[in-house]
Homo-oligomer: A and B are copies of this chain.
Amino acid sequence: MLRFWWRGYRATSVEDLVKATGVKPGSLYSVFPGGKHALFLKSLERYSKLVVPQKLGELAAPGASLAALRGYFDGLVQDLLSTEGRQGCLLVNTAIENATEDDEAAAVVRGHLARLEACMTTALRNARDAGEVRAGVDPAGSAKVLVATCQGLMVVGKANPDAAVLRAIVDNAFAVLV
């Protein structure tokens, strides 16, 4: 999973995976019928179930509010600025690299986007009920925009991992809500 995350599907060779896991080709192909591609899909699922919830943090909780939402974005920026986090999000990378020609991978990405939107919608609804955002803000609608914005943050962060640029995006994205 880490190899696909760091380097992408095409750039990761089976030899890389063999070296990284210590599992030799023969075993790898008997454990994962379907070879590299099957392993990739398993990696996407593993990322969805292990890494994503960890990054979501409080935002995944039903009582999440504006602070949790903001915390998610801040974490995203912090990751993009760190040496280890520059690879961004495996699912975003997959959307760009594979989604057009790999329907199974695209489906995993769609699932991720839907979950993210759901989390953000509840967080915004809670925030509105608590008076943390303007009354005019539509939780469902704003969640859709914020999902797109955070995917865009990854793209910008990859090309330009600059603290000021990324923080300005987040600041201004939240400024219109209050």
Give chain A's interface residues, CB within 8 Å of chain B. 8, 10-11, 86-88, 92-93, 95-97, 99-100, 106, 109-110, 113, 137-138, 141-142, 144-145, 147-156, 158-160, 165, 168-169, 171-173, 175-177
What CA separation (Å) do A153 and B149 show in the bound complex?
A: 8
What CA separation (Å) do A113 and B160 show in the bound complex?
A: 9
- A159: chain B residues at CB < 8 Å are 95, 99, 106, 109-110, 113
- A144: chain B residues at CB < 8 Å are 165, 168-169, 172
- A165: chain B residues at CB < 8 Å are 144
Is the Cβ of A158 less than 8 Å from the Cβ of B113?
no
Copy total for this chain: 2
A2 to chain B, nearest CB (A): 14
Is the Cβ of B113 less than 8 Å from the Cβ of A100?
no
Q: CB-nearest residue of chain B relative to A97?
A: B97
A158 to chain B, nearest CB (A): 4
Known: A88-B96, A144-B172. A155 touches B158 (CB 8 A): no
Known: A93-B96, A176-B176. A149 touches B160 (CB 8 A): no
Is the Cβ of B99 less than 8 Å from the Cβ of A142?
no
Known: A172-B144, A173-B145. A155 touches B95 (CB 8 A): yes
- A173: chain B residues at CB < 8 Å are 145, 148
Is the Cβ of A169 less than 8 Å from the Cβ of B156?
no
